[in-house]
Amino acid sequence: LSFSSGDKLLVLSKPSADWWWAELRGVKGYVPASYLRQDSAEGEDNSSEDPWQDEEYFGSYGTLQRLHLEMLSDRSRTETYRQVVLSNSASLKNKVVMDLGCGTGIISLFCAQLAQPSVYAVEASSMAEYTRQLVKQNGCEEVVTVLQGRAEELELPEQVDVLVSEWMGNCLLFEFMVESVLVARDRWLRDGGVMWPSSGALTLVPCQADSYYTEKMAFWERPYGLDFTPLPLAQQEFFTKPKFSHLIEPNDCLAASCDVICLDMYTVQVRDLEEMKGEFHFCVEKSGVFHGFTAWFTVQFESLEKGGAAVELDTGPNSLTHWKQTLFMLDRPVSVNAGDSIRGSVALHRNPIWRRHMTVTLHWNINSGTDDTDSCQVGTKSFPMWR
Ligand SMILES: C[S@@+](CC[C@H](N)C(=O)[O-])C[C@H]1O[C@@H](n2cnc3c(N)ncnc32)[C@H](O)[C@@H]1O
């Protein structure tokens, strides 16, 4: 594994005293042990840290202040779930539903209000206490049973017909709540039961990000009449991690977007989440500056009725959800022309230690469609999200 002085490697195993197996930005390989020093900040103490960081994670969902307010204020997201319940209200009657990670209980309350199934609302954070009150306050306690605990560890008195959850994170998988959903599916969904969402896709597009690039880079060109252009350092600092909450303008897309990873919620297994790979081929539609790739996701909710229309939640450029989009900046912008092609691959490597984190690795080839020299530029970059 090649690495540079100052890199932080994750040592996965120590098969011999001299050579260790390690990972850097999603790439694994052997490293000479004598070249490494244990990071004191990440030292011994970390081995006792919870790889799921549940205290911090469920702590943040235990208050209304930020996350629940942000999620409930996201009307596109919340109305989509309402629409899923509403459009299936006739078939949902008398069904048994699990709302995994119910938070304030909003999806369970939609079920009670619109369809009257029997709902187990499962929530691991201390929000569950408040949710119980909300259920009571809305007169739904006959229909909704709130259970506090991690879904993986809870016992239910029966199998469920529908497993509904809002588990999606940035780039679909970040935070990996999906693992809890898959474990619950295998334990509690009856044969022939329905998953909501039923499928999902991660989508990519090559894009311009002029104002972000200028904001982070142009400043260094000539502040106070001095030359401050250590571009590699600036790029390293500003563009090593993806930018969350990016809002891409449809005009910044250089090509039609492409679904790179698809998830079937009935068949995907927890082990599949360790590494998910996809490929892309974009035909550049207009000349411009290729600054990076923007990613977002969509999920689909199939109908309970045969042949019924599915409902979709789209977090792409034409939507306005709290996820917005995620921007992956190249180290150096590349000029591209209409007719060029950008081919490549994307891989999502789940962090083997920190189970809610992953690294996104992009490889790309840019082939000029017009140039007689038939030039080809190749690039690769890995982005930790966040560890
Ligand atoms: C993205 S929020 C969605 C909350 C709510 N369903 C909504 O749509 O507003 C995810 C919720 O799932 C809970 N959660 C995550 N993993 C869980 C698990 N394994 N068991 C139970 N609850 C979980 C979190 O505490 C959080 O409240």
CATH number reported for the structural domain that contains residue 57 in this entry: 3.40.50.150
Q: Looking at 33-37, 82-86, 133-137, 198-202, which range is the least confident one?
A: 33-37
Is the shortest distance between the CB of 123 and ligand 1 below 6 Å?
A: yes
Of 229 and 168, the one with more pLDDT: 168
Q: What is the pLDDT of residue 47?
A: 58
CB of 69 within 8 A of CB of 78? no
375 and 250 share one domain: yes
263 and 284 share one domain: yes
Question: What ipTM was assigned to the predicted interfaces of this complex?
Answer: 1.00
Q: Which residues of 199-216 are buried (b: 16+ CB within 10 A; e: fewer)?
A: bbbbbbbbbbbeebbeeb
Ligand 1 centroid to residue 167 C-alpha, Å: 7
Q: Has 275 been annotated as catalytic?
A: no
Is the shortest distance between the CB of 125 and ligand 1 below 6 Å?
A: yes
Angle 172-174-180 (CA atoms, 0-180°, nearest 5)?
Answer: 90
pLDDT tens across 317-331, in order? 989 999 999 999 998
Q: Alpha-carbon distance 155 to 153, whole Å?
A: 7
Q: Does pLDDT of 300 surpass 90?
A: yes
Q: Does pLDDT of 44 surpass 50?
A: no
Assign residue 14 the CATH number of its domain: 2.30.30.40
Q: What is the pLDDT of residue 133?
A: 98
Residue 190 domain-assigned (yes or no):
no
Q: Looking at 12-21, 93-102, 130-139, which range is the least confident one?
A: 12-21
Q: Alpha-carbon distance 374 to 339, whole Å?
A: 12
Please report, for residues 41, 72, 80, 143, 207, the alpha-carbon distance to residue 113 in angstroms, rounded to integers and kept in the order given.
Answer: 50, 17, 15, 10, 43
Q: What is the pLDDT of residue 362?
A: 98
pLDDT band at 372 (very low <50, low <70, confident <90, very high): low
Residue 143 domain-assigned (yes or no):
yes
262 and 134 share one domain: no
Residue 183 domain-assigned (yes or no):
no
Ligand 1 centroid to residue 40 C-alpha, Å: 34
218 and 116 share one domain: no
Of 66 and 187, the one with more pLDDT: 187
Residue 172 domain-assigned (yes or no):
no
251 and 329 share one domain: yes
The residue from 175, 215, 249, 274 that is catalytic is 175
Of 191 and 13, the one with more pLDDT: 191
Q: Does pLDDT of 230 surpass 90?
A: no
Q: Which domain holds residue 13?
A: 1-42
Residue 338 domain-assigned (yes or no):
yes
Q: What is the pLDDT of residue 268?
A: 98
Q: Has 158 been annotated as catalytic?
A: no
Query: In the chain, how many domains are there?
Result: 3
273 and 296 share one domain: yes
160 and 206 share one domain: no
The residue from 123, 166, 179, 302 that is catalytic is 166
Q: Does pLDDT of 191 surpass 80?
A: yes
Residue 180 domain-assigned (yes or no):
no
Residue 161 domain-assigned (yes or no):
yes
Q: Alpha-carbon distance 19 to 33, whole Å?
A: 5
Q: Alpha-carbon distance 172 to 314, whole Å?
A: 11
pLDDT band at 247 (very low <50, low <70, confident <90, very high): very high
Q: Coil, strand or helix: which one is 130? A: helix
Residue 278 domain-assigned (yes or no):
yes
Mean of pLDDT values over 47-71: 89
Helices 75-87/106-114 angle, 10° precision: 30
